Amino acid sequence: MTAATSPPHLTTDPETTERLRRCVLRAVAAAHELVRELRLTEPELHALVRFLTEVGTADEFMLLSDVTHTSILVDTLGQAADAGGATSSNVEGPLYRPGSPVLDTPAVLDHAEQGDDALLLSGRVVEAGTGTPVAGAILDIWQTNQRGLYENQDAAQPEHNLRGRVRCDAEGRYEVRTVVPGPYRIATSGGPVFALLTSLGRHDTRPAHIHVKASAQDHEALTTQLFIAGDPWLEDDVIGAVKPELVITPRPTELPGVVAPRRAFAAGFNIALRPVAGG
């Protein structure tokens, strides 16, 4: 095991060790400050330890980071102040699955035939700053169905439904036939994070969205989300991740095979990737 692959607490790299030391000392100082301010009692401390233990046992620490808006804060601070016209990033979320099928554009992601409204999503991947098309860029896309369920949460959906790695054409164009996603609750398991939200009188709902990881040679990878205009939860996302520039507006259209009561929509979104420095 090398310093590059060791967990931070085991690494011998001086720079990483110093960063770890600074982070730990600052976190402890902040915790002590909070204890003094709130006059935390011993029973409250024990309750906090029990809660964090339950969060770890339930594998919900990332969920806790999300609902406390910590994940989106890290994402926002990590985005360069001068993005150079690149598309805004967003959090990955906990339900990404690597290894989805590679599909050439135009691609079809919906194989469940559950009667959801159809969505044709299209656009181009270009280089930020120049607008030059990025040939062969890969868009790793995943989303829920209209009932707010990912395929690995719904036995009625086939493997990798509404997931795929879409390869753009030589002009950076992509076209994906999918469905209009639905909003969904993120803590329905009844775990410790759900209990916390309930105690605080908060809901656990996210607005409808489509996840995208964009990658291309000589360009920085991008992880983001596209949100649906008109969704009632846009202004009250439980994880606070909605960014206005990432909202798309599906327009009614006609698509082959879509008949009433199903509806068909089309929306466009262009993705701009930052070139790798010195590339």
Residue 124 lies in a domain: yes
Residue 151 lies in a domain: yes
Contact indicator for 188, 231 with CB cutoff of 8 Å: no
DSSP tag of 235? G
* CA 53 – CA 55 distance, rounded (Å): 5
Residue 136 lies in a domain: yes
CATH number at residue 216: 2.60.130.10
pLDDT digits (tens, 9 = 90+) for 24-72: 999 999 999 999 999 999 999 999 999 999 999 999 999 999 999 999 9
Residue 15 lies in a domain: no
Residue 259 lies in a domain: yes
pTM for the whole structure: 0.89
* CA 226 – CA 217 distance, rounded (Å): 23
* CA 101 – CA 250 distance, rounded (Å): 25
Residue 91 lies in a domain: yes
Supply the range of the domain harboring residue 177. 78-273
Residue 200 lies in a domain: yes
Collapsing DSSP states into helix, strand and coil, what is residue 48?
helix
Q: What percent of the chain has pLDDT over 70?
A: 93
Dihedral of alpha carbons 223, 214, 210, 126, sign: positive
Residue 115 CB neighbours (<10 A): 10
- Which residue from 22, 160, 49, 44 is spatially nearest to 98, judged by alpha carbons? 160
Residue 8 lies in a domain: no
For each of the chain's 279 residues, which pLDDT tens digit applies? 444 455 555 556 777 889 999 999 999 999 999 999 999 999 999 999 999 999 999 999 999 999 999 999 999 998 866 678 999 999 999 889 999 999 999 999 999 888 999 999 999 999 999 999 999 999 999 999 999 999 998 999 999 999 999 999 999 999 999 999 999 998 766 899 999 999 999 999 999 999 999 999 999 999 999 999 999 999 999 999 999 999 999 999 999 999 999 999 999 999 999 999 866
Number of compact structural domains in the chain? 1
- Taking all residues of the chain, what is their mean pLDDT, rounded to a whole number? 93
* CA 152 – CA 158 distance, rounded (Å): 9
Distances (CA, A) of 225 to 25, 100, 106, 245: 34, 17, 20, 10
Residue 188: CB partners within 8 Å, gap ≥ 6?
Answer: 194, 204
